[in-house]
Amino acid sequence: MDIDDYGEWARRAEFDAATAEASDVLLARLGLGLVSDAAEVAGLVGRRLREGTLDRDHLAYELGDVAYYWARLCAVAGVTPSEVLARSRRNIEARLAKRAQPS
């Protein structure tokens, strides 16, 4: 399965398919789900910094949840996950190039 296949699956995974016409309730649920699971990831990283341990299996699980909400939000935005990643790469490469330029 490639990322756009996953995005299409995620878009239709629940009874309320994620589309550009998403209701406020769906949009809130997706956005809050994304940040909630991202906070779980941050908590695992924090535990690593405090205690020196990282539960990699739990991290992978939470990253999967983040990916799910992210993919559904891509559908609401009307873009494929691969388009979002391509845009992100271009933006980050431009920022990195600016940093690499001598002052």
> Mean of the pLDDT values across residues 1-23?
91
Reported as a pLDDT band with limits 50, 70 and 90, residue 21 is confident
Q: Predicted confidence band at 17 (pLDDT cuts at 50, 70, 90)?
A: confident
Query: Distance between CA 9 and CA 28 in Å, rounded?
Result: 20
Name the residue ranges covered by the structural domains of the chain: 3-100
pTM for this structure?
Answer: 0.90
3-class state of residue 74 by DSSP: helix
Q: How far apart are CA 42 and CA 3, in angstroms?
A: 24
CATH 2.60.40 fits 3-100, yes or no: no
Contact 54, 44 (CB under 8 A): yes
Dist CA 86 CA 82 (whole Å):
6
Q: How many CB atoms lie within 10 A of CB 92?
A: 10
